[in-house]
């Protein structure tokens, strides 16, 4: 069965950094696009970034571009999100998701909570 397990969330001060990880299992990780999607408390879903199977193509939304970097290690079946210059508005649950194409993510992790506050 497909499993995606996020880790690395926590409380960080504005301007701080965090690195999220997502451990994948149950499928051929290196064959899939992977994505990060976030959900601020009590609100809807927002796409953050995605990456192609070999890591050569990366896309992120303007609100995080230049601050967040998505990456992957296919040897470790792992996805990452390096988050720098964090802002209060980045506070959210961050989900790792498998993307079979055209954004129609079909498996989601349970998410990891990132709280940016002083």
Partner 1 sequence: DVVMTQSPLSLPVTLGQPASISCRSSQSLVHSNGNIYLAWFQQRPGQSPRRLIYKLSDRDSGVPDRFSGSGSGTDFTLKISRVEAEDAGIYYCMQGIHWPPTFGQGTKVEIK
- Binding-site size for partner 1 (CB under 8 A) equals 17
Least distance from partner 1 to the Cβ atom of residue 47, Å? 5
Q: Which of 59, 84, 87, 115 binds partner 1 (CB under 8 A)?
A: 59
Q: 43: which residues sit within 8 A by CB, 6+ positions away?
A: none
Q: Which is nearer to partner 1, 15 or 45 (CB)?
A: 45
In 3-state terms, what secondary structure has residue 12?
strand
Q: Which is nearer to partner 1, 16 or 53 (CB)?
A: 53
Is residue 23 within a helix (H) or strand (E), and if so which, with residue range?
A: strand 18-25
- Residue numbers 72-111 binding partner 1 by CB under 8 A: 95, 101-106, 108-111
Q: What are phi and psi of 44, to 5 degrees?
A: -85, -165
Fill in the DSSP letter of residue 59: E
Is residue 94 within 8 A of residue 9, CB to CB? The reply is yes
- Determine, following the binding rule CB under 8 A, whether residue 9 of this chain makes contact with partner 1: no
Residues at the interface with partner 1 (CB under 8 A): 44-47, 59, 61, 95, 101-106, 108-111
């Amino acid at each position: 069965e497909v499993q995606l397990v996020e880790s690395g969330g926590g409380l960080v001060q504005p301007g701080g950094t965090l690195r999220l990880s997502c451990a994948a299992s149950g499928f051929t990780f290196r064959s899939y696009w992977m994505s990060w999607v976030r959900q601020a408390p009590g609100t809807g879903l927002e796409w953050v970034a995605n990456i192609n199977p070999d890591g050569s193509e990366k896309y992120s939304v303007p609100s995080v571009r230049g601050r967040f970097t998505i990456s992957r290690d296919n040897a470790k079946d792992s996805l990452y999100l390096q988050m720098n210059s964090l802002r209060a508005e980045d506070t959210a649950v961050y989900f790792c998701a498998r993307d079979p194409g055209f954004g129609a993510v079909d498996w989601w992790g349970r998410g990891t909570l990132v709280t940016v506050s002083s």
